[in-house]
Amino acid sequence: MLPEANWITRAPSLRSKLILLAKVQDEAGHGLYLYSSAETLGTSRDEMIADLHSGKAKYSSIFNYPTLSWADMGAIGWLVDGAAIQNQVMLCRASYGPYSRAMVRICKEESFHQRQGYEIMLHLAKGTQEQKDMAQDALNRWWWPSLMMFGPSDDNSPNSAQSMAWRIKRKSNDELRQEFVDKTVPQAKFLGLSIPDADLRWNEALGQHDFGSIDWNEFFAVVAGNGPCNSERIEARRKAHAEGAWVREAASAYAAKQAARRSSDSKANPQAA
Ligand SMILES: [Fe+2]
Ligand SMILES: [Fe+2]
């Protein structure tokens, strides 16, 4: 949600600002559901957050790209949330209950994010030449990073086989990427925008689109911490954590006080306990 946060104060209308705020709140919630489900495996949230801040834990490559114009809010909702849905719908039926249950709720919210983004793109694409150019520029910059979100190709994805064997993932990275391309190409056509890929064409025999090759050097550089905004994103995350310390302390002190009150009440009046 850091990429979106850049545009909350710059949203072009009250309506678009409210919708973007709601989306960012949803994304904060998704983080909380997923940390809660990961905690059921025995690692505390504090440890996981410390790993994120130290650079030990990985996070999605897509969060390391800058958002340069309002059209990026459209392209992110349409493409990035769209790619997330493609991946997460499959995860709703994953074999690990706490994870799959979190995904059911996440997917409902993601479909709202996708429509939020597509609506912005539609608005710009039907607007002035300048607005249309903004939309095209955003599509040009977000298309390839969105395809990278599905992860390395199947022959170069060491974690996929394990995830498939445990039935966490039920479709491969390449299968999901293909489904995403096939779904998104007609949407771009409807907008009157062109996908920045000279090799993209319909393959009649296979009943799917052929598309150009992904720059995996860029993907692995971003994952390794060398994307355009990696250090800025982690720094913002560390700063927010440090500045929120007093809130966590206050909440813990309040919870301890409530627990002490409950236990003294139950001692004074054991039957009510
Ligand atoms: Fe999300
Ligand atoms: Fe989302």
Cα 82 to ligand 2 centre (Å): 8
Nearest partner of 143 among 194, 199, 192, 210, judged by Cα: 194
79 CA to middle of ligand 1, Å?
A: 13
Distance (Å, rounded) from C-alpha 74 to C-alpha 178? Answer: 22
Q: How far is the CA of 207 from the centre of ligand 1 (A)?
A: 30
pLDDT tens-digit profile of 134-164?
A: 999 999 999 999 999 999 998 888 788 888 8
Using the mean position of ligand 1's atoms as its centre, give its distance from the Cα of residue 118 in Å.
16
Task: Write the CB contacts of 171 (distance below 8 Å, at least 6 apart in sequence).
Answer: 90, 179
Mean pLDDT of 6-11: 94
From the CA of 202, how far away is ligand 1's center (Å)? 31
Ligand 1 centroid–CA 87 distance in Å is 11
- Specify the amino acid at residue 73: M
Q: What is the pLDDT of residue 272?
A: 58
Q: How confident is the model at residue 247 (pLDDT cuts 50, 70, 90)?
A: very high
- What is the 78 CA–ligand 2 centroid distance (Å)? 10
Of the candidates 94, 118, 93, 157, which has an alpha carbon nearest to the alpha carbon of residue 23?
118
Question: Which ligand is closest to the CA of 113, given by its number?
Answer: 2
Q: In the prediction, which pLDDT does 146 show? A: 98
Q: Amino acid identity, residue 87? A: N
- In the numeric block, the tokens 């072009």 are attached to 12
Q: How far is the CA of 149 from the centre of ligand 2 (A)?
A: 13
Q: Please state the φ and ψ torsions of residue 232, each to the nearest 5 degrees.
A: -65, -45
Whole-number Å distance, alpha carbon 193 to ligand 2 midpoint, is 23
Smallest CA-to-CA distance from 233 within 225, 221, 224 is with 225
- Measure the CA–CA gap between 75 and 77, rounded to whole angstroms: 6
* pLDDT for the residue numbered 267: 83
pLDDT at 130: 98
185-228 residue pLDDT tens: 999 999 999 999 999 999 999 999 999 999 999 999 999 999 99
For residue 68, give both structure tokens: 């340069």
- Name residue 208's beta-bridge partners: 203
The residues near 74 (Cβ < 8 Å, ≥ 6 apart) are: 117, 118, 119, 120, 121, 123, 124, 135, 138
The model carries a pTM of: 0.91
Tell me the ligand closest to 30's alpha carbon. 1
